Structure 1
Amino acid sequence: MTSSGDDTAMAGSSSGTEDVERPADVDLPANLEDVRSALIEWYEADHREFPWRETEDPYAILVSEVMSQQTQLDRVRPAFEAFLEEWPTAAELAAADRSDVVGFWSTHSLGYNNRAKYLHEAARQVHEEYDGEFPRTPQELQELMGVGPYTANAVASFAFNAGDAVVDTNVKRVLYRAFDVPDSDDAFERVASLLLPDGRSRVWNNAMMELGGVACGTTPRCDEAGCPWREWCSAYETGDFTAPDVPTQPSFEGSRRQFRGRIVRLLGEQEEMELDALGHRIRVDYTPDGEHGRDWLRGLLADLSDDGLVEVRERTDRTVVRLRE
């Protein structure tokens, strides 16, 4: 269980947000401290245990956040543990061959391979530009390769207790149902920031995501999970558990992303491959002059080349492909 660490502000103390103007389009409870205390107490009494919740190491937390993007947590756990066993520190990841890191990513089906590349580059930045010390604020963390506002805020929160409110799909669903927050990113950000207790971003953001993942999922489990917000929740009162619209992710099976992953995985096992040999290995219906032939394959390779992952070499009698070192 992750302790609140340097969470020095007590849940019942003034958070400094009571003087912030409340959104006119949201019906928040009168006493926000009761709302905050109820959620934190619920989370600290019992929550799912994940290895990234047992550490305040910013490197490990960054790895978990990058792996968790559009990947189910039950798949992330073994990959996370194996990754840290292979590269326990940012310095060791920085010294690794990129092809090994990308190969690991593909083998564990962790989604877009450029995330592995960016994670590798971020480790190099920390090692070379920051003398091995991670930046601590969301703004500074965004200077790292591939680290956007959400990931930067998560690392700042969970590693340094110095983040803003994290707003992911789970958090949006909770706020939409509990307090009738309009389905807009601006509204979600405003209300999430208002609810965040000063100095407690680590425990608060963990608790909010736990609430959305355990009690307020797609199928709500209000009573079974003992949701701490039932007395204030609009959805619980009305029985209307609709949720904000979530963009549908494209199917992975048969997608270009799937074939790009196959290419990287194969090249991780070979020094180089001839173009058509590669095509036949990644697709059973590959025909050089067909719909899924050389032009199609070159398009995939162009994407991977733009990401800095592969290089295509044109020789006199053939075309060969290899991972970029």
Structure 2
Amino acid sequence: MTERDDAVSLGEAHDLEAVRDALVEWYEADHRDFPWRRTDDPYAILVSEVMSQQTQLGRVVEAWEEFLERWPTTADLAGADRADVVGFWTDHSLGYNNRAKYLHESAQQVESEYDGSFPESPDELQELMGVGPYTANAVSSFAFNNGNAVVDTNVKRVCYRVFSVPDDDAAFETAANELMPDDRSRVWNNAIMELGGVACTQTPRCDEAGCPWREWCDAYASGDFTAPDVPTQPSFEGSRRQFRGRVVGTLREYDELELDTLGHRIRVDYAPDGEYGREWLEGLLDDLADDGLVTLERGDSRAETVARLRR
């Protein structure tokens, strides 16, 4: 795909008002109805954003609803046993357990540092544990209509194809913020992510999805639908993530276990002196201890090491 001259802004090359109106009208006419799009509760939105980081949106809905039923407010989550929160994360296969830990800690911050009220700006939201620029912008946008442009993989793909924005993070951020109308971050960020999620997908569905930007789209005009490479998510099956989750789940059930007993319970091919043996398991446990999820009582030998879930 031929890249445009970086000196030419999107506003100089296109009628931005028409571009913006076309996308918002398309989104408001029909879009996927996720429950977190029906609320402006920053806590509920934060939970949805954290869950969505490693899980397909269709699977997030049930987990999100169950999570909020169990811990409906930041006060409820802040007062919860962290092991229960991590256990919920593991049981619902929501990805890295430290995301549950950070969500729990951020709820405690909201209660202790912000008197139960969420900060509203992206910069302030990044003070919460585990909340980076993307999540902060999303929460600020969807809860308070106060965010900058959200730049995820979908938005990058749209900008690259439609406006030939170079495959560069700074260029994507500049273009996304230029495209976004003032004081409309809630609807705009939902709309442009929806465009990338249902129309400008890796295999484009321009006509089928009625893409509102076809008349401005460089890719549609040229037939070249190249897009930046999208990193693939490592397989969960057999991963350290999976076994970290099994460790937490097993210790929730048994409270404490010696190293070899734990090893045999989390994988059938555990062999104390083998590739997946005591050294491998201690590495997992050390990681979980660093995350504040387990404690280790080391004996005179590795075999006598006892792992406990931190309460």
TM-score interval for Structure 1 and Structure 2 normalised by the shorter chain: over 0.9
Instruction: Kindly indicate whether residue 90 of structure 2 is the aligned counterpart of residue 122 of structure 1.
Output: no
What is the correspondence of 1:48-63 to structure 2 with a 5 Å cutoff? 48-63=32-47
Post-superposition offset of 1:93: 0.2
- The answer for the alignment partner of 2:81 in structure 1 is 97
Q: Which of 144, 150, 172 is equivalent to 2:156?
A: 172
- The answer for the alignment partner of 2:310 in structure 1 is 324
Are the aligned partners of 1:165 and 1:193 in contact in 2 as well (CA < 8 Å)? yes
Cα distance between partner residues in 2 of 1:291 and 1:148: 36
Q: Which of 216, 241, 245 is equivalent to 1:257?
A: 241
Are the aligned partners of 1:25 and 1:181 in contact in 2 as well (CA < 8 Å)? no
Cα distance between partner residues in 1 of 2:6 and 2:47: 35
One-letter amino acid matched to 1:137? S
What is the correspondence of 1:66-215 to structure 2 with a 5 Å cutoff? 66-215=50-199
Point out where structure 1 has 5 or more consecutive residues left out of the alignment: 1-21
Instruction: Kindly indicate whether residue 210 of structure 2 is the aligned counterpart of residue 226 of structure 1.
Output: yes
Post-superposition offset of 1:70: 2.1
One-letter amino acid matched to 2:137? N
Point out where structure 2 has 5 or more consecutive residues left out of the alignment: none
Post-superposition offset of 1:318: 2.5
Are the aligned partners of 1:178 and 1:232 in contact in 2 as well (CA < 8 Å)? yes
Cα distance between partner residues in 2 of 1:192 and 1:107: 36
Instruction: Kindly indicate whether residue 267 of structure 2 is the aligned counterpart of residue 283 of structure 1.
Output: yes
Are the aligned partners of 1:26 and 1:179 in contact in 2 as well (CA < 8 Å)? no
The SS at the match of 1:273 is strand
Cα distance between partner residues in 2 of 1:245 and 1:187: 16
Q: Which of 1, 4, 7 is equivalent to 1:24?
A: 7
- Say how many residue pairs are matched: 304
Are the aligned partners of 1:262 and 1:282 in contact in 2 as well (CA < 8 Å)? yes
- The answer for the alignment partner of 1:13 in structure 2 is none
One-letter amino acid matched to 1:295? E
Q: Which of 252, 270, 287 is equivalent to 1:303?
A: 287
Q: What percent identity do the matched residue pairs reach?
A: 74
Instruction: Kindly indicate whether residue 229 of structure 2 is the aligned counterpart of residue 236 of structure 1.
Output: no
Query: What is the TM-score normalised by the length of structure 2?
Result: 0.95
Cα distance between partner residues in 1 of 2:14 and 2:237: 48
